[in-house]
Amino acid sequence: MADLFATVPGRALAVYAHPDDPEISCGGTLAAWAAGGAAVHVLTCTRGDKGSPDPTVDPDALAARRAEEVAAAAQVLGLAGHDQLDIDDGAIDNSAAVRSQIVAVIRRVRPEVVVCPDPTAVFFGDTYVNHRDHRMVGWAALDAVAPAAGNPHYFPEAGPAHAVPVVLLSGTLAPDVWVDVAAALDTKVAALACHRSQLGSEGEQWLRAVITARAEDDGRAGRTALAEGFRRLTLLEP
C-alpha cells in the first residue's frame, strides 16, 4: 500500500539550486504545510543568472529579476522565510564553504523536515540528464544535514547544533512516500507563475496542464488524486 506523508511538520526547510526549483519540485507540499500551520522556509543556492537561452540577456539583471520572483512566489506559498546564496549558476560545488552556509540556515530554522533534490537521480529515461546544480545541491544539503548540522564540531560559527529528523528527496527515481497536494495545487501553479522570466510564451494555462499531469502521475503511485512523491530518509526516530 502506498505510504502517504500526512504529518504537517512544525518547521520545514527546502534547499534547492535555482530560483524556481522549490516550486517545481515540491511547491504543493510546501504550500500544504504552510496552510496547515507549518513554518516553512526555502533556501535557494544560486542566483539564477543563467536562466535564459537569450545571448543578449544581462546575467546580473536576470538574477535581480529572479530574486524578485523568488520573493513573490514565497508570498504566494505562505512561507515563513526565504534565503538565497550569491552563487552563479553552474558554479556551485559540494564544498565546505557551501555546506557551512546551508548548515547556518538549518541551525537557524531548526527544521523537523528538510526537503532537497535526490542527487543520485541522474538519468531520466533517455531524454534528460539531471542538472549538475541539482545534484551538487542535493549532495551539499545531505552532507550539511548529516553529520554537519547536528554535530557542534562542524562549523561552530554557524550556530548551535541541530539534528534533522527527516529528509524528503524530490525528483527521485525511487519514491516511497507521497504528499497529498490536491488542496494546494492551485497555490503551486500560482507560485510558479510568479517566475515570469521562466514561463515563456506558453502561459499559465500550459503551466497548469503540465503541473496537473505530473501531480496525477504521482497521485496514481501514491493512490490519491494529486500528489508529490519523495524518497524518505528517517535519520532520527520519533
What is the tens place of the pLDDT at every residue in 165-188? 999 999 999 999 999 999 999 999
Residue 204: per-residue pLDDT: 78
Residue 202: per-residue pLDDT: 67
CA–CA distance, 157 with 163 (Å, rounded to integer): 16
Q: How many CA atoms lie within 13 A of 111 on its CB side?
A: 32
Q: Residue 46: which residues within 8 A CB-CB, separation 6 or more?
A: 17, 18, 19, 85, 87, 88, 89, 91, 92, 133
CA–CA distance, 7 with 44 (Å, rounded to integer): 24
Residue 201: per-residue pLDDT: 62
Per-residue confidence of the chain (238 residues) as pLDDT tens digits?
A: 579 999 999 999 999 999 999 999 999 999 999 999 999 999 999 999 999 999 999 999 999 999 999 999 999 999 999 999 999 999 999 999 999 999 999 999 999 999 999 999 999 999 999 999 999 999 999 999 999 999 999 999 999 999 999 999 999 999 999 999 999 999 999 999 999 998 876 677 888 999 999 999 999 999 999 999 999 999 987 6
| DSSP per-residue codes, 130-181 | --HHHHHHHHHHHHIIIIIIT-TTSSGGG-S-----EEEEES-SS--EEEE-
- The C-alpha cell 515570469 sits at 196
